Amino acid sequence: MSVLKEFREFAVKGNVIDLAVGVIIGAAFGKIVDSLVGDVIMPLVGIVFGKLDFSNLYIVLGTAPAGVANNLADLKKAGVPVLAYGNFITIAVNFAILAFIIFMMVKQINKLRKKQEEAPAEAAPPEDIALLREIRDSLKRS
């Protein structure tokens, strides 16, 4: 029974709950960033540098059977060994853009945290000063 009790204490600790919330938010954020990269940034990069469609870059490592079209999907369907390096390039570019976006976000968050830490919290006066002020205020009322 003590193992169940220990597990329950572990599972309801703040750190575990924070981690679960972080994973859920991270998964949702990942979808947002994927959409940002794939639907917004890559088309803009494509406009600047010309059409960037790396997905159809490949090298055929075997011989294609007769009647198979010379495109990546048909070659893979026919079982022809193909080195499809274009998809890797696309994923690497997406990763670089994603890493840069996350870097910029973390940089801004750290800047905000630093500003909050630099703002001096109004310190409570020492106890003797507080007592002297209390005495002063009571003498003024008398």
Q: What is the pTM of this model?
A: 0.52
pLDDT at 112: 86
Contact 16, 10 (CB under 8 A): yes
Given a cut of 70, the residues of the chain with pLDDT beneath it are 1, 14, 51-53, 119-121
Distance separating alpha carbons of residues 98 and 133, to the nearest angstrom: 57
**Which are the contacts of 53, defined by CB distance < 8 A and separation ≥ 6?**
46, 86
CB burial of 64-98 (b: ≥16 within 10 Å; e: otherwise) equals: eeeeeeeebeebeeeebebebebeeebeebbeebb
Domain boundaries in the chain? 1-47, 53-142
